[in-house]
Every structure is written in C-alpha cells, then in structure tokens.
Amino acid sequence: MTQGGPQISSALETRRSGAIGAPVLAIESSCDDTACAILDADGRVLAERVHTQREHDAFGGVVPEIAARAHLAALPGLVEATLRDAGLSAPDLGAIAASTGPGLIGGLIVGSGVGKGMALALGLPFIAVNHIEAHALSPRLPGVVQGGAPFPYLLLLVSGGHCQCIAVEGVGRYRKLGGTIDDAAGEAFDKVAKMLGLGWPGGPAIEALAREGRDDVHPLPRPLLGRPGCDFSFSGLKTAVAQRLAPYGAGALPRRDAADLAASFQTCVADVMVDRAAHALDLLPEATTLVVAGGVAANGAIRARLMALASERGLPFAAPPLRLCTDNAVMVGWAAIETMRAAAGLGRWPFDDTAVRPRPRWPLAEMAERFDVVR
C-alpha cells in the first residue's frame, strides 16, 4: 500500500503533463442533444456520436428531451460507443473536454460531471469549453475552411438559440460586436413558420414556401436596418407578420398569401443580416474571412446574400457544414485542442479545469482570463 501511493501519483504526473499529443474525448450536453467525439491531436475526428430525440418532434416544434436525466441516461453508453468506434480504450486518451456553459444547467452539470469524473479516474487534464467559443473556433477545424480561417475573422453565429457577431481574434480572444436584443434569427424562422401553419424546423419550410411567393407584396419592417453597430432584433418582425395574419382569423390561410408572406419575411431577414454583417465588418476591418455558422446559414437565399457581401469586400466566405453548426462534440474537442496548444505556447500547459463550475451564462469576453491575455 505505502509503495503503491507514490508510484501512482508519479504516473498521474506523467500523464497530466504528457497529454498533449494524445486523443481528446469531448462531451457536449448544453441543450437538447447529448454528443461525444474523439479527435486526435491534429483535430482529425476519430469518432463521433450524437444522441438526439429530434425524430419525435417532426410536428409542433416541441423538444421533449430537455431533461438532465436524459443526458445522464445517454452519456455513459455514448462515451463507451464512441471509444469503441475510434478503436480506443480510455487509457489511450490524453485529455477530457466538456462544454461547461453557457446553456441549460442540468445538461451542463451532467456533461461536465461525467467529463471531470473520467479525467479524475484516468489521471487526465479536464478542459472546460465555452460552448459559444467552440462555435467560434469551429471554422479552424482542419478541412473546414480552405486556408484554415486565420485570425482575426468575423463570425456571424445565427441559429435557433444564438444570433451574434463575434470578432474572433485568437484563442481565448473574442469580442462580441453585437447580438440580438430579443429573438434569435432561427427562432424567428421557427415562430413565423408556426404562424403560417408550417412544420418544424421552420427554416427549410419557409425557404421552400418562399420560392412560390413574391417578396414585395407585404411590406414588413427591417428592424435596426441602417442603425449603427450590429445588434439584431427580430421580435418586431415577428409581430408584423402576426398583424398581417390577424385579418385571416382562424380560417385557413390561402397558400398564395402564405407564400408571399414567407418570401417577404425571408427577404427581410436577409436584408437585416447583410446590413448587420456589413456593419460588423466595418468594426473589424482587419478581418480575413467572413464566417457564417448556425442553422440559418443553411438558408440558400440568406447565404447567397452574405456571399455577395463577402465578395464585395474581397473576403473569402466560409460556412462550416451544418453538422458542425448544430450542437456537436467535435467543435468542443477542437476548442479544447486549440486551448491546449495556446496554453502550451504560453508555457501554461498542463492546466486543469476541474474546478471550473458549469455556468448557464458565460460571456465570451471572460475567456481571456484563462490566459490573462492583455488587450
């Protein structure tokens, strides 16, 4: 017994300091989906699994799988299966990462709790990843953007839950240039789709219907268009659509009218998006790339307008594939790798985030504290 102690602790020391070249296992559980991924030290994805309940809510936009209990039920099996897919066993890993915020606190506690437990049991460092930071760094995953999205770049993160312009200036160095003051863009799509009697998710449904309609029949407001800065607001637009629909009452909405409204709404969002992105680029004149991430980037009309903006500015346009834009563990693993590399570059590796507590809110600006980056 007394002989075992020092040996074990010295083995732990070796593992904790020598972990940087080995694969990273990452956990994502900040919202509805439970996900696990394993990346090698260069960021290549060795295995990836997502446990989702989306197949149940094709109708209604309801997400039943919100419970921390569901994450807890799914996660251990998911981790084992991902390790098996990668052909690895737990002792082959070099670090464990988990998103620890922002998000739903129950899922965050489960994901980071499982991650910390594994790290502790295996004697590995634990890396706490900010979920938004993971989105912000995802364009730098090998193979996603030609040339690798060098810093600084502008990230337009537009999804169901997020809507913000972020200057990504380095690992740990993010500036939120603007964000929504009410609804997220994807949320506006979902809600307007619901009002038009369309299915969920609303984005693809509105885009399809908009192709049949004219976007100049229903004048809708363009919230914040032309205003300084790059904040967004979609609540008033949603209300304007509701007002347009009010005269129809509870009766069926003629398809032509629904199509015209869908087209008008989509053009409105595109106008606002381009205007806000242009303002954001003015605020970050040294941007190397315009990166658009999030489900809304999958909308062809909006995407085309943003591509045109990038080309006007002589910038490459990049949109990471959708599977990287929705909640996933690959981006969490990549953010951990970038963090480990940056820390090593500053002589701050190894470090351990076991003491970092899950946080429902975690502003990106606070990420600099990890490296005490002087701005």
Partner 1 sequence: MPERLITLPGPGHTDALGALVARLLRPGDALLLSGPMGAGKSAFARALLRALSGDPALEVPSPTFTLVQTYDTALGPVAHFDLWRLGDAYELEELGWDDARQGIVLVEWAERLDELTPSPALELDLSLDAHGGRTARLVWDDRALALPSLPDVATP
| Residues contributing to the site for partner 1 (CB under 8 A) | 31, 57, 61-64, 66-69, 103-106, 160-161, 180-184, 187, 191, 194-195, 235-236, 238-243, 246-247, 360
Nearer to partner 1, 207 or 327 (CB): 327
203 assigned ligand-binding residue: yes
What is the closest distance, in whole angstroms, from the C-beta atom of residue 234 to partner 1 in the complex? 9
| 20 neighbors 127 (Cβ within 8 angstroms) | no
| 264 neighbors 215 (Cβ within 8 angstroms) | yes
CB-count burial class (<10 Å; 0-12, 13-18, 19+) for 246: exposed
What is the closest distance, in whole angstroms, from the C-beta atom of residue 39 to partner 1 in the complex? 27
135 assigned ligand-binding residue: yes
Nearer to partner 1, 44 or 357 (CB): 357
130 assigned ligand-binding residue: no
Structure-token pair, residue 15? 């593992």
157 assigned ligand-binding residue: yes
What is the closest distance, in whole angstroms, from the C-beta atom of residue 65 to partner 1 in the complex? 9
Which residues in 249-279 are b (16+ Cβ under 10 Å) and which e?
eeeeeeeebbbbbbbbbbbbbbbbbbbbbeb
369 assigned ligand-binding residue: no
Nearer to partner 1, 107 or 320 (CB): 107
DSSP letters of 97-117? Answer: EEEEESS-HHHHHHHHHHHHH
What is the closest distance, in whole angstroms, from the C-beta atom of residue 66 to partner 1 in the complex? 6
218 assigned ligand-binding residue: no
What is the closest distance, in whole angstroms, from the C-beta atom of residue 327 to partner 1 in the complex? 11
Structure-token pair, residue 365? 């600006």
299 assigned ligand-binding residue: yes
Q: How far apart are CA 272 and CA 121, in angstroms?
A: 50
- Residue 47: alpha-carbon gap to chain centroid: 19
What is the closest distance, in whole angstroms, from the C-beta atom of residue 132 to partner 1 in the complex? 12
Nearer to partner 1, 106 or 125 (CB): 106
197 assigned ligand-binding residue: no
Helix runs in the chain, H state only: 4-17, 68-86, 105-122, 131-137, 185-195, 202-210, 235-245, 255-283, 300-312, 322-325, 330-345
Nearer to partner 1, 180 or 264 (CB): 180
Nearer to partner 1, 19 or 241 (CB): 241
What is the closest distance, in whole angstroms, from the C-beta atom of residue 102 to partner 1 in the complex? 8
Nearer to partner 1, 140 or 244 (CB): 244
Neighbouring residues of 304: CB distance < 8 A, sequence distance ≥ 6: none
* Binding site per annotation, positions for Fe cation: 131, 135, 327
